[in-house]
Amino acid sequence: MIETEIRQLLIFDGETLSGFVTDEAIIHRTVMERWGETKVEEIMTKDPFTVEKDEPIGVLALFREQCISHVPVVDDGKLVGMISIHDIIEHVFQPVPRQKIGERAGKKVHLLSVPAKGIMAKPVITVLPETKLRDAEMEMHKFDILSLVIIRKGRPVGIVTKRDFLELIVQMEMVDQRLTVQFSIKDVEIDEVQRGFIIDDFDSFARRYERTLEAGTLFVYMKTHGTNFKGRPLVHCRLQLRTRKGSFFGSSEGWGAQQTFRIALDKLERQIMRSKESVYEQEFVRTYLRRTQFPLTEL
């Protein structure tokens, strides 16, 4: 489900279709039996991307850049709405009837200049950071939504989606206590040589951080956007590393899978360096600074 981004899987008994399973059924069963008491802040994406209510929706190129599907809308930091991919499609790409009467008759509407508040959905379903995953899942089921905004004093501090739930389930089932990687690749051609280089980059990364981060899973989402340069498609790569010490993210766009992955991994590594969990791991910081040829000062 994570790799193909589908919400249902067919179940066969031999060649006979015997049923299907949904992401919601898997999540519900798991939160009811195993980790429903876990706080939502432990799996949420912290410090989510936001847009101000008066910003034009043209700034929402970050949907593609960050490979995200929902963006909270804020007014001076306070949550006031939510914009999803569905909202963008409905208001931007679907035909808009032209006004035939009145003083604005015949005028074209430049939709990309419309402020975020013009298409956002409200009110937004929210929960607190200390909300249990069992209760958060019940809210998502009750309102038939794919994401929840986590707020503190009216301000968004995180966002959680059904993919976050599924990724946590995958991570919990990993019996090998080390950093592992899972790939989700769509329309991206990677030959064996490129795949080997990518795996080598990850193995090198894992050796540097296994002691710091202990265990976790790196989820790699890679797809093309249809734009070509000399026959080479534009590749988007988004990394999400879930560990016992927290979650880390990195993303990039480029004209080759290997280079795009390497840049995203470097951004993720910088985020680890800035995290409080690695502040005291001075040797890791020194190694990173030497490898990236930054000026080395005394720590």
What pLDDT, on a 0 to 100 scale, did the predictor assign at position 94? 56
Q: pLDDT at position 299, please?
A: 37
Which pair of tokens denotes residue 23? 């992401």
Q: What SS3 class is residue 196? A: helix
Q: Beta strands 155-161 and 45-46: pairing type?
A: antiparallel
**Which of the 8 DSSP states describes residue 123?**
S
Q: What is the pLDDT of residue 136?
A: 93
Quick check: 158 and 150 in contact, CB under 8 A? Answer: yes
Under DSSP, the state recorded for 37 is T
| Series of mean pLDDT values for 10-residue runs along the chain (299 residues) | 76 90 86 83 86 78 69 93 81 55 46 78 92 92 90 93 81 64 81 85 83 79 74 82 79 85 88 62 52 43
241, amino acid identity: L
Extended beta strands in 192-231, E state: 216-229
Query: What's the pLDDT score for residue 99?
Result: 47
Give the domains, in start order, of the chain with CATH numbers: 17-93+108-165 (3.10.580.10), 176-291 (3.30.160.100)
Q: Please list, residue by residue across 73-110, b when 16 or more beta carbons sit within 10 angstroms of its beta carbon and e when fewer do.
A: bbeeeebbbbbbeebbeebeeeeeeeeeeeeeeeeeee
Give this prediction's pTM.
0.60
Q: What is the DSSP letter of 100?
A: -
What confidence score (pLDDT) does residue 279 get? 46
Residue 179's DSSP bridge partners are 216
In 3-state terms, what secondary structure has residue 233?
strand
Strand (E) or helix (H) holding 22: strand 16-22
**Residue 220, Cβ density class (10 Å: 0-12 exposed, 13-18 middle, ≥19 buried):** buried
Q: Would you say 129 and 152 are in contact if contact means Cβ atoms under 8 Å apart?
A: yes
- One-letter amino acid at 39 equals K
